[in-house]
Amino acid sequence: MKINIGIIGAGSFSIAIAKHLSEKNFNIKMWGYRKRRSRIFKK
Protein backbone atom coordinates (compact mmCIF):
# COMPACT_ATOMS: atom_id res chain seq x y z
CA MET A 1 0.00 0.00 0.00
CA LYS A 2 2.69 2.45 0.99
CA ILE A 3 4.54 1.97 -2.33
CA ASN A 4 1.35 2.61 -4.34
CA ILE A 5 0.58 5.75 -2.33
CA GLY A 6 4.18 6.88 -2.86
CA ILE A 7 3.90 6.47 -6.64
CA ILE A 8 0.54 8.27 -6.75
CA GLY A 9 1.91 10.99 -4.45
CA ALA A 10 4.98 11.48 -6.64
CA GLY A 11 2.78 11.67 -9.75
CA SER A 12 0.46 14.29 -8.29
CA PHE A 13 3.46 16.14 -6.85
CA SER A 14 5.19 16.34 -10.25
CA ILE A 15 1.90 17.48 -11.82
CA ALA A 16 1.62 20.17 -9.14
CA ILE A 17 5.20 21.29 -9.86
CA ALA A 18 4.50 21.38 -13.61
CA LYS A 19 1.35 23.46 -13.03
CA HIS A 20 3.23 25.78 -10.67
CA LEU A 21 6.07 26.28 -13.15
CA SER A 22 3.74 26.95 -16.09
CA GLU A 23 1.75 29.41 -13.96
CA LYS A 24 4.99 31.09 -12.90
CA ASN A 25 6.17 31.40 -16.52
CA PHE A 26 2.74 32.72 -17.55
CA ASN A 27 2.79 35.28 -14.72
CA ILE A 28 6.30 36.41 -15.72
CA LYS A 29 5.16 36.81 -19.34
CA MET A 30 2.03 38.71 -18.30
CA TRP A 31 4.07 40.91 -15.95
CA GLY A 32 6.52 41.73 -18.74
CA TYR A 33 3.61 42.46 -21.08
CA ARG A 34 1.98 44.75 -18.50
CA LYS A 35 5.30 46.47 -17.87
CA ARG A 36 5.75 47.19 -21.59
CA ARG A 37 2.15 48.42 -21.96
CA SER A 38 2.37 50.65 -18.88
CA ARG A 39 5.56 52.18 -20.29
CA ILE A 40 3.71 52.98 -23.52
CA PHE A 41 0.64 54.41 -21.75
CA LYS A 42 2.52 56.42 -19.12
CA LYS A 43 1.91 60.15 -19.41
Q: Looking at residue 25, what is its pLDDT?
A: 84
Q: What is the pLDDT of residues 1-43, one digit of tens each?
A: 566 666 677 788 888 888 888 888 888 888 887 777 777 666 5
Structure confidence at residue 41 (pLDDT): 65
- List for the chain the helix, strand, coil content (%; round to 5): 95, 0, 5
- Quote the CA–CA distance of 23 and 17 in Å, as a whole number: 10
* pLDDT score recorded for residue 2: 66
